[in-house]
A and B are shown apart, each in its own frame.
Chain A
Amino acid sequence: ELQLVESGGGLVKPGESLRLSCAASGFIFRRYSMNWVRQAPGKGLEWVTAMSGSGTETYYADSVKGRFSIFRDNSKESLYLQMDSLRVEDTAIYYCAKGDEDFVRLIDFWGQGILVTVSS
């Protein structure tokens, strides 16, 4: 059974940092691209960042470029999102999401999400 379990969310102040983790199971992790997608309270989906299965391709939304970093540890079947210089507008549920192949394309499975709140 596919599972993606996010952790590391919480309440931080503007300008602070936070690292999200996503533990994957039920599929061969290294063979699939992975994404982070967020959803502000009551709002739509915003794609944030993605990485290919091999880790050779990475992509970022303009809204987070230079502040967020995606990385993965295929030996631990885990995905991470390092979030620096957090802003109030980064407040959202962050979903870890599996791609449908090694290269970054569409998303075919989502974790349950974790809440990140940025507030003074």
Chain B
Amino acid sequence: DIQMTQSPPSLSASVGDRVTITCRASQVIHNYLAWYQQKPGEVPKLLISAASILESGVPSRFSGSGYGTDFSLTISGLQPEDVATYYCQKYNVDHFTFGPGTKVDLK
């Protein structure tokens, strides 16, 4: 099975900072990679599909990149409402595994 890892497990940043989270697949998954945001006490929300396609309504400060095995989610100018745990998920074959998550909070 393909394993998904994320780094860092957690980070603290200031409002306005540029934040980057990485996600790595143990095998090539092309661009079959999604990013989800889960705010405290809420259900997850889809942010990005196909590694880099921003979902409708998602602020443009969020962006995704990568292909193959290495991916990243960037928040260009962290806002207080971005405090959340972020998960990547692969969806190319029969096990739709999530990464372990990256918790983002404010410094």
Contacts and interface: CB of A to CB of B under 8 A. Distances in A.
Interface of A: 35, 37, 44-47, 50, 59, 61-62, 95, 100, 104-113
Interface of B: 1, 32, 34, 36, 38, 43-46, 49, 55, 85, 87, 89, 91, 94-101
A44 B46 contact: no
A105 B44 contact: no
Given A62-B1, A106-B34, A44 B95 contact: no
A113 B43 CA distance: 8
A59 B97 CA distance: 12
Contacts of B95: 47, 59, 61-62
Contacts, number: 55
Given A44-B87, A95-B44, 7 more contacts: A45-B44, A47-B95, A59-B95, A105-B91, A106-B34, A106-B89, A110-B45
Nearest to A107: B46
A37 B55 CA distance: 21
Contacts of A61: 95
A110 B87 contact: no
Nearest to B103: A44
Contact of A46 (B43, B55, B98): B98
B49 A100 contact: yes
A59 B98 contact: no
A44 B4 CA distance: 13
A35 B91 CA distance: 12
A35 B43 contact: no
Among all A-B residue pairs, the 6 with the closest Cβ atoms: A110-B43, A44-B101, A106-B34, A45-B98, A47-B96, A106-B91
10 contacts: A35-B96, A44-B100, A45-B38, A45-B101, A47-B96, A61-B95, A95-B43, A106-B34, A106-B96, A109-B46
A104 B32 CA distance: 12
A106 B33 CA distance: 8
A112 B43 contact: yes
Contacts of B43: 95, 110-113
Contacts of B46: 106-109
A18 B32 CA distance: 33
